[in-house]
């Protein structure tokens, strides 16, 4: 038996494996596949459920509670608060993300090499790993038949203004542009962990314990040797069954919020006090544009291209069309006004201004099993958001848009650039900007010394032998690009080093 | 290297990476599960049957349900008229609440209660939101949203998101705004199967352009590119 659900724990509550991997997303799937294919007995622990490709559909009614952490109601506290989306299902956030497949830039990796004193994390060391990961997830540019009018407008608009617009590499194999990325790809074209790394691990004999929330690590003799978790009754979400898994090593890949949450509960990360700190999130702001002609942006791939003209300022623009339900929920009006805009849904483009972090936040443990994440954008970030919104608005009006909905409370509607220019850092307050994020990173940073980092260059916690991290928490600094490929490359690195160690130990024992 | 990226593809070969590594034999049960993970379906069912059990609605008192219905009436558009719309939205939200953090779910109930009593604490008379006409209640919530007191404004923003997301997910509302994704997606699933079988996409498989304006933009760009290449 490879897949376990709540009902299965009634007869089997104790498991044994070589390695436990907590999480099945970009990091967990990649590290688990490496370990399983190396010949190790791997058990995945996944808080969410198992939902195969055949179950994906365009409706939020069941998809959101199935696929999203906390049914999509998660937020980072700060001024402003920033809602974030995270997957909670087999495949993790890769099931609901846009699938961008960018490598971390060389200048970032050069910094990582200095911080870790390990050339494996530098540009030359990471390049072959990136190449392998890109092959795993089939990272490539879209086929022409997957591209819709919204992306044409963005790309041609950038060209018209003389801005650099690049076609994105995406984790996709023959994507046909259903634009259902946020609710799971029903064609199997997007190469999420569900259809790329997890099947590899399953074929190699891994087991996956779903509907199982890891509550604490088992530590014996100062070494991490297992996980205790609970599986709630699926109907009541109460009456938990306690499940225990023992192993030689535990890899935590629960994402940049829940990885530190779990480890802080173990009182780990003490030497540096860095655990939970250094939180990064690439916040972005949406600009909704209405055109006087049909665009049908829900047909065609999301984020075919990115406007990278202002990359040096840490500002990117991308199209990111969403279904009517999040669009209606995000609109700053209700009642008749809301419907008046949504009746123009077929003429609407949703675009985003993505800003590279210039500050960090932190994650702490809150009450009732709830992590508390705090992040405040800086004045510099706010300035860049305002600048980015101005430039993106210029693109839309140049392409014929007749109205924009801007991401500032109280100043939402712009019918011309004159309206947009009224929005400045002096006329709107920083806390009035409406932000959003899906990129959560950097809370258990890699490093060369225990005084300044949480894990060593092998991904092992400095103060908890046998416990490894393999997700976006590892990032020592911001990457400034979509993080999936970098997460997977780091996870592959951690997985290989761990496999060498465990198999070497096994060979010596034999 | 073969990967599990296509439907029913062959098991992934293990890469040799050192003498100590002994690749496990392909697990037949695991291979079956792996195939199931990637297999597609044209069902696109709103309530897919994949063995997952959906939670029961979050418990709410009858009075709080009445308050919730009042908030729903205040937030949803008057048109189109959708049968049982209040109950359908209420049930959908209550089915999502068990998956939320306990504090968030509790906070949402507190928001419903506070909004229901908003006419009292805003000095709009001795009545509750549920007793107001939808138009008057809608106007009051709009006024609250523009409040300078952040938490007051946030209550309306939160309630609006919770109500309008399931509202715009209703089939009748989607049809009203011209959003009909299912036939389109079925066609794309069939197209991908053809591509996986080695066929090429045809002219009919292209998406758009849906307007003369975009068609002209594409044509101009193509001509410009052709001109530059010719030069």
Give the model confidence (pLDDT) of A170-179 as tens digits: 999 999 999 9
Residues A232 and A294 in one domain: no
Say what the pTM is.
0.94
Residue B164 in contact with partner chain A when CB distance is under 8 A: yes
Question: For residue A433, what pLDDT is reported?
Answer: 95
* Mean pLDDT, residues A125-153 taken together: 97
Give the model confidence (pLDDT) of A274-308 as tens digits: 999 999 999 999 999 999 999 999 999 999 999 99
Residue B136's domain comprises: 66-176
Please state the domain count of chain A: 2
Does residue A464 fall inside a structural domain? yes
Question: For residue A418, what pLDDT is reported?
Answer: 97
B201 contacts A145? CB cut-off 8 A: yes
As given in the structure block, the two tokens for residue B114 are: 């506070």
Residue B126 in contact with partner chain A when CB distance is under 8 A: no
Does residue B36 fall inside a structural domain? no
A148 contacts B208? CB cut-off 8 A: yes
Residues A293 and A373 in one domain: yes
Does residue B210 fall inside a structural domain? no
How many angstroms from the chain centroid is the CA of residue B6? 26
Residues A175 and A262 in one domain: no
Does residue B35 fall inside a structural domain? no
Question: For residue A209, what pLDDT is reported?
Answer: 98
Does residue B212 fall inside a structural domain? no
Residues of B within 8 A of A191 (CB-CB) are 5
Q: In CATH, what number is assigned to the domain containing residue A15?
A: 3.50.50.60
Q: Which residue of B has its CA nearest to A160?
A: B221
Question: What is the share, in percent, of chain A residues with pLDDT greater than 70?
Answer: 100
Residues of B within 8 A of A503 (CB-CB) are 18, 20-22
**Half-sphere exposure for A237 (CA within 13 Å, toward CB):** 21
Give per-residue burial for B152-190: e unless 16+ CB within 10 Å, then b.
bbebbbbbbbbbbbbbbbbeebbebbbbebbebbbebbe
* Mean pLDDT, residues A473-501 taken together: 96
Give the model confidence (pLDDT) of A210-269 as tens digits: 999 999 999 999 999 999 999 999 999 988 999 999 999 999 999 999 999 999 999 998
Q: Which of residues 17-36 of B touch A (CB under 8 A)?
A: 17-18, 20-27, 29-31, 33-36
Residue B215 in contact with partner chain A when CB distance is under 8 A: no
Does residue B113 fall inside a structural domain? yes
- Taking the CA of residue B123 and the nearest CA in chain A, the distance in Å comes to 22
- Taking the CA of residue B70 and the nearest CA in chain A, the distance in Å comes to 13
Residue A35's domain comprises: 3-50+194-278+458-473+482-509
Please state the domain count of chain B: 1
Closest CA to A475 of A109, A100, A9, A83: A109
B169 contacts A324? CB cut-off 8 A: yes
Residues A316 and A401 in one domain: yes
In whole angstroms, give the CA distance from residue B43 to residue B65.
Answer: 34
Give the model confidence (pLDDT) of B162-205 as tens digits: 999 999 999 999 999 999 999 999 999 999 999 999 999 999 99
Give the model confidence (pLDDT) of A388-430 as tens digits: 999 999 999 999 999 999 999 888 899 999 999 999 999 999 9
Give the model confidence (pLDDT) of B27-70 as tens digits: 899 999 999 999 999 999 999 999 999 999 999 999 999 999 99
Give the model confidence (pLDDT) of B154-170 as tens digits: 999 999 999 999 999 99
Helix then strand count (H, E) for chain B reads 10, 0
For B72, the enclosing helix (H) or strand (E) is helix B62-75
Residues of A within 8 A of B100 (CB-CB) are 70-71, 73
B46 contacts A234? CB cut-off 8 A: no
Residues A170 and A203 in one domain: no
Does residue B208 fall inside a structural domain? no
For A397, the enclosing helix (H) or strand (E) is helix A379-398
Does residue A13 fall inside a structural domain? yes
Question: For residue B24, what pLDDT is reported?
Answer: 57
Residues A288 and A365 in one domain: yes
Burial of B219 (0-12, 13-18, 19+ CB in 10 A): exposed
**In this model, does residue B5 exceed pLDDT 70?**
no
Contact present, A208 and A214 (Cβ < 8 Å): no
In whole angstroms, give the CA distance from residue A188 to residue A206.
Answer: 21
Q: In CATH, what number is assigned to the domain containing residue A320?
A: 3.30.560.10
Residue A296 in contact with partner chain B when CB distance is under 8 A: yes
ipTM of the complex: 0.94
Residues of A within 8 A of B205 (CB-CB) are 145, 176
With the CA atoms of A56, A62, A65 and A71 taken in that order, what torsion angle do they form, in degrees rounded to the nearest 10?
110
Residue A4 in contact with partner chain B when CB distance is under 8 A: no
Residues of A within 8 A of B70 (CB-CB) are none
Q: Which residue of B has its CA nearest to A499?
A: B21
DSSP character string of A255-273: HHHHHHHHHHHTT--TTT-
In whole angstroms, give the CA distance from residue B75 to residue B77.
Answer: 7
Active site residue A6: no
Residues A241 and A219 in one domain: yes
- Name which of B76, B179, B182 is nearest A324 (Cβ-Cβ): B179
As given in the structure block, the two tokens for residue B132 are: 């107001």
Q: Which of residues 440-459 of A touch B (CB under 8 A)?
A: none
Question: What is the share, in percent, of chain B residues with pLDDT greater than 90?
Answer: 82
Q: Which of residues 99-128 of A touch B (CB under 8 A)?
A: none
B96 contacts A65? CB cut-off 8 A: yes
Residue A245 in contact with partner chain B when CB distance is under 8 A: no
Residues A292 and A151 in one domain: yes
For A225, the enclosing helix (H) or strand (E) is strand A223-231
Residues A299 and A369 in one domain: yes
Q: Which residue of B has its CA nearest to A159?
A: B221
A176 contacts B192? CB cut-off 8 A: yes
- β A19-22/A42-45 pair status: parallel
């Amino acid at each position: 038996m490879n897949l376990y659900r709540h009902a299965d724990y009634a007869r089997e509550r104790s498991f044994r494996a070589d390695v436990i991997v907590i999480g099945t997303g970009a990091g967990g799937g990649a590290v688990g596949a490496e370990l399983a294919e190396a010949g190790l007995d791997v058990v995945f622990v996944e808080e969410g459920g198992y939902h195969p490709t055949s179950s994906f559909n365009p409706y939020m009614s069941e998809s959101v509670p199935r696929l999203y952490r906390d049914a999509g109601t998660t937020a980072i506290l700060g001024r402003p608060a920033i809602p974030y989306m995270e997957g909670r299902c087999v495949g993790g956030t890769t099931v609901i993300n846009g699938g961008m497949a960018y490598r971390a830039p060389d200048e970032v990796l050069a910094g990582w090499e200095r911080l870790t004193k390990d050339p494996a994390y530098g540009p030359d060391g990471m390049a072959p790993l990136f190449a392998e990961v890109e092959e795993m997830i089939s990272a490539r540019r879209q086929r022409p038949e997957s591209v819709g009018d919204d992306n044409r407008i963005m790309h041609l608009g950038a060209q018209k203004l003389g801005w650099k617009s690049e076609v994105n590499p995406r984790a996709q194999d023959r994507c046909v542009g259903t634009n259902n990325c946020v609710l799971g790809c029903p064609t199997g074209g997007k190469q999420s962990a569900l259809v790329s790394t997890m099947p590899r691990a399953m074929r190699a004999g891994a087991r996956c314990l779903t509907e199982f929330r890891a509550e604490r690590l088992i530590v014996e003799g100062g070494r991490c040797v297992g996980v205790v978790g609970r599986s709630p009754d699926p109907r009541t979400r109460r009456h938990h069954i306690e499940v225990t898994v023992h192993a030689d090593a535990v890899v935590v890949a629960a994402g940049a919020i829940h990885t530190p949450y779990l480890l802080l509960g173990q009182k780990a990360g003490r030497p540096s006090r860095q655990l939970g700190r250094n939180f990064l999130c690439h916040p972005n702001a949406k600009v909704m544009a209405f055109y006087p002609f049909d665009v049908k942006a829900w047909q065609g791939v999301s984020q075919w291209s990115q406007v990278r003209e202002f990359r040096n300022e840490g500002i990117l623009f991308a199209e990111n069309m969403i279904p009517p339900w999040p669009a209606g929920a995000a609109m700053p009006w209700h009642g008749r006004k809301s419907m008046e805009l949504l009746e123009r849904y077929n003429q609407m483009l949703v675009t985003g201004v993505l800003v590279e972090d210039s500050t960090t936040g932190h994650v702490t443990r809150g009450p009732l099993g709830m992590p508390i994440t705090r992040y405040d954008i800086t004045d510099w970030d706010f300035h860049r958001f305002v600048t980015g919104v101005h430039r993106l608005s210029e693109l839309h009006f140049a392409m014929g848009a007749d109205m924009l909905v801007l991401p500032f409370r109280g100043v939402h509607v712009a019918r011309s650039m004159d309206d947009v220019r009224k929005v400045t850092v002096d006329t709107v307050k920083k806390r009035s900007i409406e932000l959003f994020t899906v990129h959560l990173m950097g809370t258990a940073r890699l490093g060369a010394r225990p005084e300044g980092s949480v894990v060593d260059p092998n991904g092992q916690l400095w103060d908890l032998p046998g416990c490894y991290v393999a997700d976006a928490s590892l990032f020592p600094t911001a990457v400034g690009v979509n993080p999936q490929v970098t997460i997977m490359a780091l996870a592959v690195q951690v997985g290989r080093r761990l496999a060498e160690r465990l198999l070497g130990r096994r060979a010596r024992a034999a | 290297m073969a990967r599990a990226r296509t439907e029913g593809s062959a098991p992934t070969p293990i890469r040799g990476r050192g003498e100590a590594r002994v690749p496990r034999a392909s697990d037949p049960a695991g291979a079956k599960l792996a195939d199931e993970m990637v297999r597609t379906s044209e069902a696109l069912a709103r309530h897919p049957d994949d063995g997952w059990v959906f939670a029961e609605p979050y418990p709410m008192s009858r009075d709080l349900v009445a308050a919730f219905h009042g908030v729903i009436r205040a937030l949803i558009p008057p048109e189109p008229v959708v049968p049982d719309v209040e109950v359908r939205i209420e049930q959908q939200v209550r089915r999502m609440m068990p998956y939320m953090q306990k504090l968030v779910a509790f906070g949402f109930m507190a928001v419903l209660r506070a909004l229901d009593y908003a006419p009292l604490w805003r000095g709009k008379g001795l009545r509750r939101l549920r007793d107001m006409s939808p138009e008057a209640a809608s106007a009051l919530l709009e006024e609250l949203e523009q409040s300078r007191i952040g938490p007051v404004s946030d209550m309306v923003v939160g309630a609006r998101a919770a109500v309008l997301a399931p509202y715009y997910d209703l089939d009748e509302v989607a049809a009203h705004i011209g959003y009909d994704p299912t036939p389109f997606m079925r066609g794309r699933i069939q197209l991908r199967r053809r591509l996986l079988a080695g066929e090429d996409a045809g002219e009919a498989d292209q998406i758009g352009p849906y307007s003369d304006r975009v068609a002209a933009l594409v044509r101009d760009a193509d001509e410009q590119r052709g001109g530059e290449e010719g030069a």
